[in-house]
């Protein structure tokens, strides 16, 4: 039997034309599963790997349904898509506009950092689709400049992040003003955290179908460099960037201060670099990302504002100069490479304070990072003493292109019980110390505390 194509899923002629114009030949597994389910009017909770085409998986069925029927209330927005960052909102606006190219539907964007007045004028024009970040949208809800009483689709992209601390309050405030009979669609590469359930119940009214795509893992080589301290990491980074073969690279730091520091450091060392974090103005953020997309810069230094959803062709290397806070956040950062079946490489720099965290992330993801070294830059720290004295070399070479030990080559859809351990949660220090020891998972005894300074956009 041949695989179903877009013609089996999408009957609208204008929409099919737009899909052709984008060059999409066949639906991806998540599109194959989510489009029919959403077209049947169901609420969905969808989990599928990074870069697997989730955006079209929620846009296509919603657009098709809206094109096929009259609006409930002509004064109201018909589809609302919430995202954690402005950059992701802009990317989704672009994708939606491409798919709506042959229709009369309009898309509006509502994010922080832009004038309220201008956004209110745009909202009065009442575009069918609005994409936005929760903080600014909640402000508009307070000013009564939104109208969601006839809303047909509410989408939370990066849904686990949207229901995370700091964002969920605004998300729920907005959701409460949306039409009760709407369809709610939640999408992310990571939907396993405990504690999400009760929040999901507040945004999804009624029944929901869970779709979990157990697809073949992304081809990302995952490596680590052991470091003494940040100065050492900077030296390792220079050597890595000089040696590595990449079109574009993203370097993740855990704080804005560190991102600025590294931006200056790399600029001083003659790299074409830009920085993206929460303290940079909206205009500058846009310019920085545009330059990176266009290839005018080849390196982006960023905090976790760039970890989620960004789809930038040519990103072949991701460096965690600070290790990610959690297994899930690691997965999103690293997922900026290896998108849509491309190959990628991820290198994490790990010092003594990050050792236990790194081992927990390895266990959570079911991978062993290949330990690599930069010639002439070996540090004093080489991992915990017990590993050194056991005679086992921490430098054991292991090819780790595989991300998920549970993943199989054949895509399949299943309804999943949430029985995963806590390590995937964003707030790692707590999750690490409180997670039960299951499945060979032993939480480290020492608490690792890190400072979080970048909430939301």
Residues in the site for ligand ADP, rule: CB under 6 A?
24, 27-28, 31, 48, 50-56, 309, 311, 339-340
Q: Give the max Cα distance, the chain.
A: 72
Residue 332 binding target from Mg ion, ligand ADP, none, CB below 5 to 8 Å by type: none
Shortest distance (Å) from residue 199 CB to Mg ion? 20
Q: How far is the C-alpha of 58 from the C-alpha of 155, rounded, in Å?
A: 8
# residues contacting Mg ion (CB under 5 A): 2
**Which single residue is written with the structure tokens 């549970």?**
406
| Cβ closest to Mg ion, residue 141 vs residue 156 | 156
Task: Compare residues 121 and 340 and give the one whose CB is closer to ligand ADP.
Answer: 340
CA distances from 373 to 49, 115, 224, 334, 349 (A): 29, 48, 8, 20, 10
Residue, CB closest to Mg ion: 309
Does 54 bind Mg ion (CB under 5 A)? Our answer is yes
Which residues from 390-429 bind Mg ion, rule CB under 5 A?
none
Assigned token pair, 43: 């609420």
Q: Is 309 in the site for Mg ion (CB under 5 A)?
A: yes
Q: Is 335 in the site for Mg ion (CB under 5 A)?
A: no
Nearer to Mg ion, 54 or 421 (CB): 54
- Minimum CB separation from Mg ion for residue 340, in Å? 11
Tell me how far, at minimum, the Cβ of 211 lies from Mg ion, in Å: 15
Contact 86, 310 (CB under 8 A): no
- Residue 312 or 401: the one with the smaller Cβ distance to ligand ADP is 312
Helix (H, G, I), strand (E, B) or coil at 347: strand
Instruction: Give the integer Cα–Cα distance in Å for 23 and 340.
Output: 13
Rg (CA), the chain: 22
Toward ligand ADP, which CB reaches closer, 128 or 311? 311
Closest distance to ligand ADP from the beta carbon of 363 (Å): 24
Judged by CB under 5 A, the stretch of 4-12, 52-60, 113-121, 394-402 that binds Mg ion is: 52-60
Q: From CA 118, how far away is CA 140, in angstroms rounded? A: 12
Nearer to ligand ADP, 178 or 310 (CB): 310
3-state secondary structure (DSSP) of residue 65: helix
Q: How far is the CB of 55 from ligand ADP (least distance, A)?
A: 3
DSSP-derived letter for residue 4 is P
Shortest approach of Mg ion to residue 448 CB, angstroms?
29
Of 131 and 273, nearer to Mg ion (C-beta) is 131
User: Could you say which residues in the range 92-111 bind Mg ion, by CB under 5 A?
Assistant: none
Pick the closer one to ligand ADP by CB: 10 or 123: 10
Determine phi and psi for 420, rounding to 5 degrees. Answer: -75, 155
Among residues 309 and 379, whose Cβ is nearest to Mg ion? 309
Q: Does 53 bind Mg ion (CB under 5 A)?
A: no
Q: Which option in Mg ion, ligand ADP, none does residue 85 bind, with CB closer than 5 to 8 A by kind?
A: none
Q: Which residues lie closer than 8 Å to 117 by C-beta, 6 or more apart? A: none
Span from 39-47, 69-77, 305-313, 346-354 in contact with Mg ion (CB under 5 A): 305-313
Structural contact between residues 170 and 147, judged by C-beta atoms closer than 8 angstroms: no
Residue 15, Cβ neighbours under 10 Å: how many?
A: 22
How many Å apart are CA 54 and CA 58, to the nearest integer? 7
Answer for the pair 344, 338: CB distance below 8 angstroms, yes or no: yes
338 touching Mg ion, by CB under 5 A:
no
**Tokens 């070996």 sit on residue:** 378
Closer by beta carbon to ligand ADP, 304 or else 354: 304
Unique residue bearing structure tokens 């000089």: 242
Q: Rounded to an integer, what distance in angstroms lies between the CA atom of residue 406 and that of residue 117?
A: 50
Q: Choosing among ligand ADP, Mg ion, none, which partner's interface includes residue 51 (Cβ < 5 to 8 Å by kind)?
A: ligand ADP
- Count CB neighbours of 295 within 10 A: 12
SS3 content of the chain, % helix, strand, coil (to 5): 40, 15, 45
Residue 48 Cβ vs ligand ADP, minimum distance, rounded to whole Å: 6
Nearer to ligand ADP among residue 192 and residue 354 (C-beta): 192
Q: How far is the CB of 159 from Mg ion (least distance, A)?
A: 10
Q: How far is the CB of 260 from ligand ADP (least distance, A)?
A: 28
- 340 touches, from Mg ion, ligand ADP, none (C-beta below 5 to 8 Å by class): ligand ADP
Across the beta sheet with 273-276, what order do the strands follow?
273-276, 299-302, 248-252, 315-320, 343-350, 219-226, 370-372
Distance in Å, CB of 132 to ligand ADP, minimum:
17
Nearest approach in angstroms of CB 309 to ligand ADP is: 6
Instruction: Classify residue 78 by its DSSP letter.
Output: S
Binding site for Mg ion (CB under 5 A): 54, 309
């Amino acid at each position: 039997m041949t695989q179903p194509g877009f013609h089996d899923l999408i009957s609208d002629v204008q929409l099919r034309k737009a899909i052709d114009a984008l060059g999409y030949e066949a639906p991806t597994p998540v599109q194959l599963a989510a489009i029919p389910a959403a077209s049947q009017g169901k609420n969905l909770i969808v989990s599928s790997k990074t870069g697997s085409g989730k955006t079209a998986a929620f846009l296509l069925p919603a657009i098709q349904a809206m094109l096929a029927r009259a609006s409930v209330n002509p004064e109201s927005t018909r589809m609302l898509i919430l995202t954690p960052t402005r950059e992701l909102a802009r990317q989704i606006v672009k994708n939606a506009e491409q798919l709506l190219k042959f229709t009369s539907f309009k898309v509006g964007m509502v994010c922080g950092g832009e004038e309220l007045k201008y956004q209110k004028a745009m909202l009065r024009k009442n575009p069918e689709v609005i994409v936005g970040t929760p903080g600014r949208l909640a402000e508009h809800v307070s000013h009564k400049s939104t109208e969601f009483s006839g809303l047909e689709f509410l989408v939370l992209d990066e849904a686990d992040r949207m229901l995370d601390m700091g964002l969920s309050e605004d998300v729920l405030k907005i959701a409460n003003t949306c039409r009760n009979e709407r369809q709610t669609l939640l999408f992310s590469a990571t939907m396993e955290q405990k504690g999400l359930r009760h929040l999901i119940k507040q945004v999804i009214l009624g029944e929901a179908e869970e779709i979990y795509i157990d697809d073949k893992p992304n081809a990302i080589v995952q490596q680590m460099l052991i470091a003494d301290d940040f100065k050492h990491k900077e030296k390792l980074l220079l050597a890595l960037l000089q040696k590595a073969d990449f079109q574009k690279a993203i370097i993740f730091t855990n704080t804005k201060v560190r991102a600025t520091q590294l931006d200056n450091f790399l600029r001083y060392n003659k790299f074409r670099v830009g920085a993206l974090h929460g303290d940079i103005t909206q205009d500058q953020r846009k310019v920085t990302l545009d330059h990176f997309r266009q290839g005018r810069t080849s390196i982006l230094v960023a905090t976790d504002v760039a970890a989620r959803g960004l789809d930038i062709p040519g990103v072949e290397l991701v460096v965690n100069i600070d290790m990610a806070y959690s297994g899930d956040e690691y997965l999103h950062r690293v997922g900026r490479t290896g998108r849509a079946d491309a190959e990628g490489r991820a290198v994490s720099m790990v010092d003594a304070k990050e050792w236990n965290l790194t081992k927990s992330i390895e266990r959570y993801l079911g991978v062993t990072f290949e330990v690599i070294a930069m010639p002439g830059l070996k540090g004093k720290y080489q991992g915990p003493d017990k590993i050194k004295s056991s005679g086992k070399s921490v430098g054991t070479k292991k090819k780790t292109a595989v991300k998920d030990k549970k993943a199989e080559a054949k895509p399949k859809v299943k309804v999943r019980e949430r029985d995963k351990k806590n390590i995937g949660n964003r707030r790692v220090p707590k999750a690490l110390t409180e997670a039960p020891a299951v499945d060979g998972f032993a939480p480290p005894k020492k608490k690792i505390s890190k400072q979080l300074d970048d909430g939301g956009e």
